[in-house]
Amino acid sequence: MVGFAGSLLSGVVFGLALAAPPGPMNAVIAEESVVRGWASGVRAGLGAMSADAAFFVLAFLGVVGFVERFPTVRTVMVGGGGLLMLYFAWGAVRETGAFLGNGEPAAADADERAGVSTGFRKAFVLALTNPYQLLFWLTIGVGLLRPGRVDVLGQAPYVGPELAGLLIVETGSPALLFGFFVGIGLWVTGFPAALVTAGRRVDSFAPVVAGTSAAVLAGFGVAFLYDAASAFAA
């Protein structure tokens, strides 16, 4: 029982550590949350989470292993992801301008004019074209069910090197993988809730978050396109 509980808790910490750092997915979740509310933010988070689940299944079955063997496929994914990020960044810029102009975000398409959030699709497609997310599942992610060890905090984006060695757990337990997705689920529900709560208290919060989301998406988009162009030129 202690082993199960420990693996479950370690998985939750692992999921939170990977989901919380700033990046394209959180930029989309933040934009959807402040523009369209908590439910839309959660749907965006579930889109990214669904892509993780799809990657896990495909990686476990060995279907996506060809990406490692064919660098051109990975390069195309990087370039496509960069273009998508720039496109979504432009949408966030439009919404920021709408907030500043009349206090209401602009409807980007027919679905949004009808009140239907496109956040799930945005996050899902963006995650599917993110080769780094795929690479995680081809290496560390799929190994969560295989006997071994994983440095949980050492895998966290940006801060991993500073936290390496602080939490090392045994893999091979379904409880660890289940806890991992529970951790991601906690983030994709709690993060939008925090943003919506803050937005209710600070009038200027929504346009600031939308603008920041646009900057994050644009920055990652340019970086992805640069990586793709460098790979093709090499």
pLDDT per residue over 86-111, tens digit each? 888 888 787 776 655 555 554 444 44
CA–CA distance, 76 with 229 (Å, rounded to integer): 10
- Greatest mean pLDDT range, 150-154, 160-164, 214-218: 214-218
pLDDT band at residue 44 under the 50/70/90 scheme: very high
Burial of 210 per CB tally in 10 Å (0-12, 13-18, 19+): buried
- Name the least confident of 90-99, 141-150, 155-164, 211-220: 155-164
Mean pLDDT, residues 179-195 taken together: 93
pLDDT at site 97: 67
pLDDT at 51 > cutoff 80 = yes
Contacts of 189 (CB under 8 A, 6+ apart): 42, 45
Task: Give the mean pLDDT of the chain.
Answer: 78
CA–CA distance, 234 with 232 (Å, rounded to integer): 6
Mean pLDDT, residues 160-176 taken together: 74
pLDDT at 171 > cutoff 70 = yes
CA–CA distance, 160 with 184 (Å, rounded to integer): 17
Mean pLDDT, residues 63-71 taken together: 68
Secondary structure of residue 158 in the 3-state scheme: coil
pLDDT at site 115: 40
pLDDT at site 88: 84
pLDDT at site 192: 93
Domain layout of the chain by residue ranges: 2-233
DSSP 101: H
Mean pLDDT, residues 34-39 taken together: 86
**Which residues are registered as beta bridge partners of 153?**
none
Count of helix runs (H) and strand runs (E) in the chain: 11, 2
Q: Tell me: the pLDDT tens digits for 116-127?
A: 457 888 889 888
Mean pLDDT, residues 148-169 taken together: 68
pLDDT at 178 > cutoff 80 = yes
